[in-house]
């Protein structure tokens, strides 16, 4: 006979059976039965955050850095609504998290009860799937199914809303292997005819490019290995989206750097001029394509994606391949090899020569200064002093600093780079860094932050202190909403409408108040010492790096422009964005 237990016991048991070791949460009235169960066990550690949004981002950080789903537990009403930004973030970046929200008892649903919110209604559009469980008998099965849904196919956030009476009531526990993981079984293998078509195109391409994305990382380590093998065997250049950094190593010869709005000149030019584009686990996001009707006009395009709705959504492709990246790449390599491993060596040589010319532009060069720290310089020094650490994990907030981090830091392995790509959520980086550090207690975890973003979830320094998480908050403080100010430069005649903070806190005092170490630096010649001091300190650090206030981030494809009309550092920026471009974001 199935084991009898209360709903609250079932939740904890199901989490244990799913292999969960950590949950991020915040208690409240409706969640108390589950919290009581947590108190009476020691298999799962609970990290008490300071705001439920922090819990969701921490879970994302945990998930992105481990490849395992992150788990969140919050109370009803405000606890649940506070997770909405994190859920949306995870949805847009395809991050597996399972969020358990408590709900008012079933008999009070619909009465505007205290801390009642229509959680499944509110979160329906920002989850991959969600459940309101009204019967304890099915609760365990739902929890198991939620993990299956969150982690299968294109991963994403799943929410389970559990009324308090369902947590108290008794029912029979469904074991993990007996749970109905439903009919949800996305196709992993790609269509062999299409894969063969791609192999044939690889044989004739003279200007190919591999455009890889977060899907490679989500697909797992074997996908990363296969991507590297594909690149090595074919000698094709590789660029990647913001989400895909690390799948191909930054030190690799064929690495072109990130592409897109703030991507590298050579990567964007190659995307524009290529004759074969192989999109592996990316989604033709508007930050990548720029102007659609001028996007890579001369290329044949292949697209490997596990989500059929990604295919032909934005860009029409010639060879759509629906399947898991690792499975498809395995077949692709096998087929291409069996056909004789052919490529156009001569064409490729010319192509690489062209690429070298683009590289020679050195698009990331900037005018350094001896008086004031340039944000690019700060990141170059951070890179120089940390890149040898195999256990280095970087999270970011959102803004200029994020783009500079993507440009100036190099990633050798997947799951080392956690940033809010699709939603662009300011306030993501600090809690995400906590999630990463919890999963990798001995690693070096650095959040490259802007001062404005960082303030959005700075309360989580309390969490860092409580759990002795030695996260390094590397704040590039330009006293500006830098990215907003840059757009106002480009688009709104330098009218800096509300893009700076009049009253920034003293970050040294703030660090002290939270029991962390504060370091401040403003002279470029002190940069290395300051970074070393940060790295040596065994505990959380708030690193206040006062940088040039009006630096702009280049290269930049202005909204509305095609890939070959990038702005570089020395280009004028006035009127860079036209009237129709101006309505875009």
Partner 1 sequence: MSPLKIKKGTSRKSAYDLKDPHADVIERHTLACIVTNEAGVLARVIGLFSGRGYNIESLTVAEIDHEGHRSRITVVTTGTPEVIQQIKAQLGRMIPVHDVHDLTEEGPAVERELALFKVAGKGDKRIEAIRLAEIFRANVVDSTLESFIFEMTGTSEKIDAFADLMRPLGLVEVARTGVAALSRGEV
Which residue numbers are catalytic? 52, 114-115, 164, 483
Q: Whole-number minimum distance, CB 394 to ligand TPP, in Å?
A: 15
* CB within 8 Å of 25: residues ≥ 6 apart: 31, 46, 47, 48, 49, 55, 72, 73, 74
The answer to whether residue 480 forms part of the interface with ligand TPP (CB under 6 A) is yes
Q: What are residue 159's DSSP bridge partners? A: 99, 130
- Piece of 32-40, 67-75, 391-399, 408-416 that binds ligand TPP (CB under 6 A): 391-399
Nearer CB in complex with ligand TPP: 49/150 = 49
Residue pair 313/283 in contact by the 8 Å Cβ criterion: yes
Enumerate residues 282-311 that contact partner 1 by CB under 8 A.
286, 289-294, 307-309, 311
- Tell me the number of residues near partner 1 by CB under 8 A: 54
Residue 182 site contact among partner 1, Mg ion, ligand TPP, none (CB < 5 to 8 Å, cut-off depends on kind): partner 1
Residue pair 14/143 in contact by the 8 Å Cβ criterion: yes
Among 60, 397, 544, 551, binds ligand TPP (CB under 6 A): 397
Enumerate residues 214-273 that contact partner 1 by CB under 8 A.
none
Site string for Mg ion, 460-489 (x = CB under 5 A): ------------------x-x-x-------
The answer to whether residue 129 forms part of the interface with partner 1 (CB under 8 A) is yes
The answer to whether residue 483 forms part of the interface with ligand TPP (CB under 6 A) is yes
Q: Is the dihedral of CA 234, 409, 576, 426 positive or negative?
A: positive
148 HSE (CA, 13 A, CB side): 18
Nearer CB in complex with ligand TPP: 95/102 = 95
Residue 577 site contact among Mg ion, partner 1, ligand TPP, none (CB < 5 to 8 Å, cut-off depends on kind): partner 1
Report the alpha-carbon distance of residue 211 to residue 275 in Å, rounded. 13
Among 39, 40, 177, 183, binds partner 1 (CB under 8 A): 183
Nearest residue (beta carbon) to Mg ion: 450
Helix extents (H) in 514-578:
527-536
Helix extents (H) in 259-344:
265-273, 286-289, 325-338
Q: Whole-number minimum distance, CB 243 to partner 1, in Å?
A: 19
What is the Cα gyration radius of the chain? 24
- Tell me the number of residues near ligand TPP by CB under 6 A: 20
Q: Which helix (H) or strand (E) holds 345?
A: helix 345-360
Report the alpha-carbon distance of residue 425 to residue 84 in Å, rounded. 12
Nearer CB in complex with ligand TPP: 476/566 = 476
Helix extents (H) in 457-555:
461-466, 482-491, 507-513, 527-536
Among 141, 447, 478, 552, binds ligand TPP (CB under 6 A): 478
Enumerate residues 404-443 that contact ligand TPP by CB under 6 A.
424-427
The answer to whether residue 361 forms part of the interface with partner 1 (CB under 8 A) is yes
Residue 22 site contact among partner 1, Mg ion, ligand TPP, none (CB < 5 to 8 Å, cut-off depends on kind): none
Among 25, 375, 450, 518, binds Mg ion (CB under 5 A): 450
- Tell me the number of residues near Mg ion by CB under 5 A: 6
Nearest to 522 by CA among 551, 505, 546, 541: 546
Among 107, 170, 184, 253, binds partner 1 (CB under 8 A): 184
Enumerate residues 401-440 that contact partner 1 by CB under 8 A.
none
DSSP 8-41: HHHHHHHHHHTT--EEEEE--GGGHHHHHHHHT-
The answer to whether residue 380 forms part of the interface with ligand TPP (CB under 6 A) is no
Opening angle at CA 485, ends 459 and 256, nearest 5: 90
Enumerate residues 132-161 that contact partner 1 by CB under 8 A.
132, 149, 153-154
DSSP 150-164: HHSSS--EEEEEEEH
Enumerate residues 485-544 that contact partner 1 by CB under 8 A.
490
* CB within 8 Å of 459: residues ≥ 6 apart: 50, 51, 54
Nearest to 11 by CA among 156, 70, 29, 36: 36
Q: Which helix (H) or strand (E) holds 375?
A: helix 375-386
Opening angle at CA 523, ends 507 and 257, nearest 5: 90
Mapping DSSP onto H, E and C, the string for 220-240 reads CHHHHHHHHHHHHHHCCCEEE
Nearer CB in complex with ligand TPP: 345/585 = 585
Q: Whole-number minimum distance, CB 247 to partner 1, in Å?
A: 24
Nearest to 539 by CA among 462, 468, 483: 468
Report the alpha-carbon distance of residue 22 to residue 72 in Å, rounded. 9
- Piece of 117-125, 432-440, 446-454, 537-545 that binds Mg ion (CB under 5 A): 446-454
Among 481, 542, 545, 577, binds ligand TPP (CB under 6 A): 481
Site string for ligand TPP, 444-463 (x = CB under 6 A): ------xxxx----------
Helix extents (H) in 399-480:
400-408, 429-439, 451-456, 461-466
Q: Whole-number minimum distance, CB 540 to partner 1, in Å?
A: 39
If you ran DSSP here, which 8-state letter would residue 310 be given? G
- Piece of 13-21, 362-370, 436-444, 450-458 that binds Mg ion (CB under 5 A): 450-458
- Quick check: helix, strand or coil at residue 183? coil
Q: Whole-number minimum distance, CB 330 to ligand TPP, in Å?
A: 38
* CB within 8 Å of 71: residues ≥ 6 apart: 15, 20, 22, 23, 24, 59, 97, 98, 99, 100
Residue 510 site contact among ligand TPP, Mg ion, partner 1, none (CB < 5 to 8 Å, cut-off depends on kind): none
Enumerate residues 557-576 that contact partner 1 by CB under 8 A.
558-562, 564-568, 570-576
Nearer CB in complex with ligand TPP: 6/478 = 478
Residue pair 102/27 in contact by the 8 Å Cβ criterion: no
* CB within 8 Å of 13: residues ≥ 6 apart: 5, 140, 173
Residue 584 site contact among partner 1, Mg ion, ligand TPP, none (CB < 5 to 8 Å, cut-off depends on kind): partner 1
Binding-site ranges for partner 1 (CB under 8 A): 120-121, 124-125, 128-129, 132, 149, 153-154, 182-184, 186, 286, 289-294, 307-309, 311-313, 316, 361, 490, 558-562, 564-568, 570-581, 583-584
Contact residues for Mg ion (CB under 5 A)? 450-452, 478, 480, 482
Binding residues for ligand TPP, rule: CB under 6 A, are 397-401, 424-427, 450-453, 476, 478, 480-484
């Amino acid at each position: 006979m199935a084991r009898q237990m209360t709903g609250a016991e079932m939740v904890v048991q199901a989490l244990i059976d799913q292999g969960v070791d950590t949950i991020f949460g915040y208690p409240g009235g409706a969640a108390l039965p589950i919290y009581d169960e947590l108190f009476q066990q020691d298999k799962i550690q609970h990290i008490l955050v300071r705001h439920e949004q922090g819990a969701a981002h921490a879970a994302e950080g945990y998930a992105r850095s481990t490849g395992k789903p992150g788990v969140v537990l919050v109370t009803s009403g405000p606890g649940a609504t506070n997770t909405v930004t994190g859920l949306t973030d995870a949805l847009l970046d395809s991050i597996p998290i399972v969020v358990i929200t408590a709900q008012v008892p079933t008999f009070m649903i619909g009465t505007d009860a205290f801390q009642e919110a229509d959680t499944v209604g509110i979160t329906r559009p920002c989850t991959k799937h969600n459940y309101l469980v009204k019967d304890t008998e099915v609760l365990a099965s739902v929890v198991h199914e939620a993990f299956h849904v969150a982690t299968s196919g294109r991963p994403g956030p799943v929410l389970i809303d559990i009324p308090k009476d369902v947590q108290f009531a008794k029912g029979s526990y469904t074991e993990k292997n007996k749970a109905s993981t439903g009919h949800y079984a996305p196709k992993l293998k790609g269509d062999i005819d299409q894969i063969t078509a791609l192999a044939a195109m690889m044989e004739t391409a003279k200007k190919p490019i591999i455009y890889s994305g977060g899907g490679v990382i989500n697909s797992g380590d074997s996908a990363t290995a296969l991507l590297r093998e594909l690149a090595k065997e074919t000698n094709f250049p590789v660029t990647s989206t913001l989400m895909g950094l690390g799948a191909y190593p930054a030190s690799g010869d064929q690495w072109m750097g990130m592409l897109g709005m703030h991507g590298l000149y050579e990567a964007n030019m190659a995307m524009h001029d290529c004759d074969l584009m192989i999109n592996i686990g990316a989604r033709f996001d508007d930050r990548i394509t720029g102007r659609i009707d001028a996007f890579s006009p001369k290329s044949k395009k292949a697209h490997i994606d596990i989500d059929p709705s990604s295919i032909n959504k934005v860009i029409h492709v010639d060879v759509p391949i629906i399947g898991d990246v690792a499975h498809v790449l395995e077949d692709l390599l096998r087929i291409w090899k069996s056909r004789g491993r052919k490529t156009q060596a001569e064409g490729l040589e010319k192509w690489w020569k062209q690429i070298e010319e683009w590289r020679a532009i050195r698009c990331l060069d900037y005018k350094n200064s001896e008086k004031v720290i340039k944000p690019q310089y700060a990141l170059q020094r951070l890179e120089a002093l940390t890149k040898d650490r195999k256990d280095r994990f970087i999270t970011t907030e959102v803004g200029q600093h994020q783009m500079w981090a993507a440009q100036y830091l190099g990633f050798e392995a997947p799951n080392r780079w956690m940033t809010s790509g699709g939603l662009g959520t300011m306030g993501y980086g600090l809690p995400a860094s906590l999630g990463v550090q919890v999963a990798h207690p001995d690693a070096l975890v650095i959040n490259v932050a802007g001062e404005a973003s960082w303030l959005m979830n700075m309360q989580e320094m309390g969490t860092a202190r409580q759990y002795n998480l030695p996260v390094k908050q590397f704040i590039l403080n330009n006293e500006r909403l830098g990215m907003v100010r840059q757009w106002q430069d480009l688009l709104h005649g330098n009218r800096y409408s509300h893009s700076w903070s009049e009253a920034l806190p003293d970050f040294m005092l703030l660090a002290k108040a939270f029991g962390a170490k504060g370091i401040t630096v403003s002279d470029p010649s002190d940069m290395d010492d300051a970074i070393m001091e940060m790295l040596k300190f065994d505990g959380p650090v708030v690193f206040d790096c006062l940088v040039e206030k009006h630096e702009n981030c280049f290269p930049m494809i202005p909204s509305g422009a095609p890939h070959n009309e990038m702005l570089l550092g020395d280009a004028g920026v006035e009127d860079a964005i036209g009237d129709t471009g101006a309505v875009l974001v």
